[in-house]
Structure 1
Amino acid sequence: MSEIIYPTLDLFLYDLRDGLGENAGEIADNKDRFLQKLPARIRSAIEQRDAAVEAEYVELLGNRGREQFNSSSQNYTLKGYYYPVRLGDSYGLLLDCSVEHSLGHPDRSQTEAFLVSCFADLKAELDRRLADSKSTIGQVWMVSGQIPNFTPDRAESVAQACCQIPELELDWDRDFRSKSQFAGGILFEFWRYRFNSPDRSSNSESNPICNIHQLQDNYLVLIALYPNSETARKASEINFDWLRLFAYRSKILWAYGQSQYLRQKLKYRFVLIQQYLKDFDRAKTRNLNLKQLRKTLVDAQNTLANYSIDLNYLNTQKRTIEVNLLNYGRRLKRMKQRLTEFQAVSDMEFLKKFSDNVEARYLVQIERDYESFSLGVTLLGELINSIRGVTEIDQSERDRNFQNTVAILGVGLAAGSIVASIATQFPGASDPKEAAKYPLGSTLSQLGIPDPWLVPAISTTASLGIGIMAGLLTALVIKLSWFFRKD
């Protein structure tokens, strides 16, 4: 039978306080989201200590540190506490709950052995206190307790029994990763990770991601089992180191999840870039549609702006992982030093394996993605310059043709006006009979122009003819000038 003494369930939960580029309103929303996880009676005290200046580590309840609570389930008396902290640009919360004794038996406090099924009551209590609110960065569960007549095999049997509790959502075959000696006891690691592609379109800027659980399934549970109360008490002193270590781990996976989301958006926009290039190539082989090219230019410029922002954010996630990986290694080293003081064998290799995996896999993948997608900026820049060049040349050609047309018409009209003004100065210009003696007047007369209209007809025809000839001569001169200029 799987029994455990002083069963305890701890939740290490992390929320974003002030993300990159967030304004005062968004920061206030982040704070409110975190405060909703805490009892109303302590929220004002936390707000007073949550200064605007960034701090590496602040106990948000001051010297009192923790906010204790007492509760009960149908079968057990429960006891726990809230321990909220500020961790740089994030919030951290250690929410602890233990079974003190079965109902009606306070004399058995911290010595009574319970079936491992009691963890279902502990999980329900913590879920009730959180009111199903999710963390925005990540969370880690730790199951712990003492085993009567402790042996490694018995510890493994208890850990397997914990996997049978539906509320813990564990599967031994699927989630078990490793076991190691820890502070005189045994620590079992259960972890599953999977990136969840958002259901909405990758290029949509609406419905922002509010918590990391929308992007990834990251579920880590540690089961720590000890041979006696003394060992368990010493191990509990490491809880505040766990709080920081899990903060770095959660921030790493949070940044990695963000990077994969950005990768999807960049892939979507890279497809748009390729489509713009195809449209431009087709446009060059046909009569240019200046209006369509301008639309493509505007779309490409908007895509470039969004693409560049996402690409920079991708690089930011890489730096976030690097910084937190460095802090993770330092905290792990500190924990190892503290554990040596217990004079008990502790193997933290599985924690080191995580950091090695991040360095060898996650960082490398983000670096490759950044290098690959950087090509999109170059392609878009060249496309925009090409479209601008074509549209400017086409517009210049249109402007030049317009100017040439204006010049030809201007010269023609001017020449015609001059002819019209001097035509009336010739001898007999106002006499139809005299005008009919000239070739132009004779021709117009033969064409049936009445004598009263003959003089104005001669003037109009002469001015039009001279105007047309002057215009044609001007067009020839313009064409020859462009020909010699090209040579």
Structure 2
Amino acid sequence: MTDKISAPNVYLYAFQLYHNSEGSNNPLWQKCDNILRKFTYKKLTHHLKSPKRSHDQCEDLLLKTPLEFTRSNPLIEGFAQPLQIQDSYALWLNIGCPEDGTADNLDVSFIKEINPENILLIDGDDNFLGQTLLLTGWLTENNLPDNIDYSLPFAELCCNHIDYFKPIANQCRNALLPGDSTPIFYRSGILFGSPIFEYGLISDIANIANYRHLLVWLLCDKQTDKDFNTCQQEIIDLLFYRNKIIKSFQDSRKIYHDLVKNYDEIEEDIKYLQQQLAKIRSSLTTADLETLKQQLKVLLGKALSYTSVLRKLEAFDNTIAINLNNYSDILQKICDTLKTDKEELSILNHFEIKTAPYMRSQIAGDLGYFKHGTDLIESAIASIRGIVEIEQAKSDRALQTRVTVIGVGLGVSGVAATAYPYLIKQDPPNPINFTLSIIISLCLGVIAAAIAFTAIQIWPHLCPKKPRN
């Protein structure tokens, strides 16, 4: 068994939203120029055409398709194909060796020439959706172990002994992405009749800085190459939706951390509120009411912010659902084109039936947990409002009682002062009687006010309450 492969090629699929960076100013095209600089003098940005504002699924952005290049010593060739897909730009870049027999039985270490200084890895901004690297290389019978039955066709032997090729796939990975950028093996399978190995753990997807997606496809059947060429556009679309889903999930993890922080703050505020209410054992003072009103304003502000962040999390889940549906449609289109079923494309179908649903379940769990924060805020706001309304009602009743009592007292005093001259003869006028009338009027007013106050206090207790229906 040898560690050599033939005609290694790397395909870069990268995607970026074109928000506020249309045309040649988009960072994705600038990055492509940086990559091409390692292999050719040509620049992608010099050949771009202005994109049209259309609703087409995919549009070519080159004046002449595609931008091809060749480098000798060693012989490396490739092409760059920029596309516009819906609201995003896509870069399809190929760098590798020709399949004309001039690059057969190359040592795996040759792959380092295709990615000098890890130039193919893109660290984009917030509008960068992600990338997938696909490395292809042809196997020969020399790659098979000696202790197997060679009576079967070569392609069938390769597919039946896929585990034999994991070491060489790992070597290809290490040569292409050395050092800290090396992704961990995830799973393997058969795609279009040839072994394929996927790298990049699902558990690393949330970690934007560490996640790398690499496919190593060891070709053993010419039909594989034909099917690959037939479905090129569908594969681009498929990876576009895949990266959109992953980007939405990664963004949801940022929102998750914001929600954790907000939730903790809300819990602290409610604990503080409970402590403040526990100290109040009688009627609230004006200062207490003012404190509660201020706390109510704070909670209302936090409720608005918290709900807004929670809606963003729901929006990411909706985005994943929409793009997952598109992913499923494209996968079905590939099946229809090749007259196969999704089970035969398990390496691609796994993302639809396992990976993306796992992401949605994570978000669903987060939504279920953090919606309790909304309930906490609503309960706290309702409690504060209830307390403030009760105390305000008490204050209003007390004011009404005081006004009533004072009114009764003043009224009785006025009546008494008016009636006094008619009840006591004032002939001749006596200043003492005038003073006495004032005193008697005031006393009667006080007595009347006291009677009114007592009546107001005991009357609600004497009246029977109406039964509720």
TM bin (shorter chain): 0.7 to 0.9
Residue of 388, 396, 418 corresponding to 1:399: 396
Q: What residue number does 2:161 align with? A: none
TM-superposition CA deviations, 1:184-209 (whole Å, max 9, x none): 54322212233588xxxxxxxxxxxx
Q: What residue number does 1:133 align with? A: 124
> Per the alignment, do residues 484 and 127 of structure 1 end up closer, same or farther by CA in structure 2, a change over 3 Å counting?
farther
> Per the alignment, do residues 406 and 131 of structure 1 end up closer, same or farther by CA in structure 2, a change over 3 Å counting?
same
**2:45 is the counterpart of 1:48:** no
Shift of 1:221: 0.7
The whole-number CA distance in structure 2 between the counterparts of 1:127 and 1:171 is 12
TM-superposition CA deviations, 1:48-86 (whole Å, max 9, x none): 3241x5443222337x443334568xx645433322223
Q: What residue number does 1:87 align with? A: 85
Partner letter of residue 127 of structure 1? I
Partner letter of residue 201 of structure 2? R
Kept in 1: contact 2:192–2:223 (CA 8 A): no
> Per the alignment, do residues 170 and 278 of structure 1 end up closer, same or farther by CA in structure 2, a change over 3 Å counting?
closer
Identity %: 21
Residue of 198, 208, 216 corresponding to 1:213: 208
Residue of 226, 242, 248 corresponding to 1:255: 248
Q: What residue number does 1:451 align with? A: none
Q: What residue number does 1:12 align with? A: 13
Q: How does 1:150-169 map to 2 (within 5 A)?
A: 150-152=142-144, 155-165=165-175, 167-168=177-178
TM-superposition CA deviations, 1:77-109 (whole Å, max 9, x none): 5433322223334332212222569xxxxxx99
The whole-number CA distance in structure 2 between the counterparts of 1:273 and 1:299 is 10
TM-superposition CA deviations, 1:369-396 (whole Å, max 9, x none): 4344444444443443333222112112
Shift of 1:170: 7.8
SS in 1 for 2:79: strand
**2:346 is the counterpart of 1:355:** no
SS in 2 for 1:213: coil
SS in 2 for 1:381: helix
Q: What residue number does 1:447 align with? A: none
TM-score normalised according to structure 2 size: 0.72
Partner letter of residue 11 of structure 1? L
The whole-number CA distance in structure 1 between the counterparts of 2:96 and 2:428 is 123
Q: How does 1:173-192 map to 2 (within 5 A)?
A: 175-183=184-192, 185-192=194-201
**2:114 is the counterpart of 1:98:** no
Shift of 1:13: 1.3
The whole-number CA distance in structure 1 between the counterparts of 2:401 and 2:177 is 84
Residue of 450, 454, 458 corresponding to 1:472: 450
TM-score normalised according to structure 1 size: 0.70
Aligned residue pairs total 426
The whole-number CA distance in structure 2 between the counterparts of 1:464 and 1:110 is 122
The whole-number CA distance in structure 2 between the counterparts of 1:360 and 1:472 is 75
SS in 2 for 1:478: helix
Shift of 1:328: 2.5
The whole-number CA distance in structure 1 between the counterparts of 2:56 and 2:428 is 103
Q: What residue number does 2:382 align with? A: 385
Partner letter of residue 85 of structure 1? L
Which has the larger displacement, 258-267 or 390-399? 258-267
The whole-number CA distance in structure 2 between the counterparts of 1:49 and 1:259 is 30
CA RMSD of aligned residues (A): 4.4
> Per the alignment, do residues 131 and 254 of structure 1 end up closer, same or farther by CA in structure 2, a change over 3 Å counting?
closer
Partner letter of residue 13 of structure 2? F
Shift of 1:140: 0.9
Which has the larger displacement, 231-240 or 251-260? 231-240
Partner letter of residue 302 of structure 2? T
SS in 2 for 1:117: helix
Structure 2: segments with no counterpart, 5+ residues? 35-42, 146-163
Shift of 1:147: 4.5
> Per the alignment, do residues 36 and 460 of structure 1 end up closer, same or farther by CA in structure 2, a change over 3 Å counting?
farther
Kept in 2: contact 1:84–1:92 (CA 8 A): yes
Q: What residue number does 2:217 align with? A: 224
The whole-number CA distance in structure 2 between the counterparts of 1:485 and 1:123 is 92
Kept in 2: contact 1:404–1:478 (CA 8 A): yes
Shift of 1:222: 0.8
Partner letter of residue 237 of structure 2? R
Kept in 1: contact 2:33–2:45 (CA 8 A): yes
Structure 1: segments with no counterpart, 5+ residues? 18-26, 102-107, 198-211, 439-454
SS in 1 for 2:326: helix
The whole-number CA distance in structure 2 between the counterparts of 1:222 and 1:10 is 10
Shift of 1:415: 4.9
Q: How does 1:259-338 map to 2 (within 5 A)?
A: 259-275=252-268, 278-279=271-272, 281-282=274-275, 284-285=277-278, 286-287=280-281, 288=284, 289-336=288-335, 338=337
The whole-number CA distance in structure 2 between the counterparts of 1:61 and 1:486 is 88
Q: What residue number does 1:203 align with? A: none
> Per the alignment, do residues 235 and 470 of structure 1 end up closer, same or farther by CA in structure 2, a change over 3 Å counting?
same
Partner letter of residue 300 of structure 2? Q
Partner letter of residue 474 of structure 1? A
The whole-number CA distance in structure 2 between the counterparts of 1:140 and 1:347 is 21
Kept in 1: contact 2:114–2:176 (CA 8 A): no
> Per the alignment, do residues 464 and 121 of structure 1 end up closer, same or farther by CA in structure 2, a change over 3 Å counting?
farther
Q: What residue number does 2:115 align with? A: 123
The whole-number CA distance in structure 2 between the counterparts of 1:12 and 1:359 is 19
Partner letter of residue 124 of structure 2? S
Which has the larger displacement, 240-249 or 470-479? 470-479
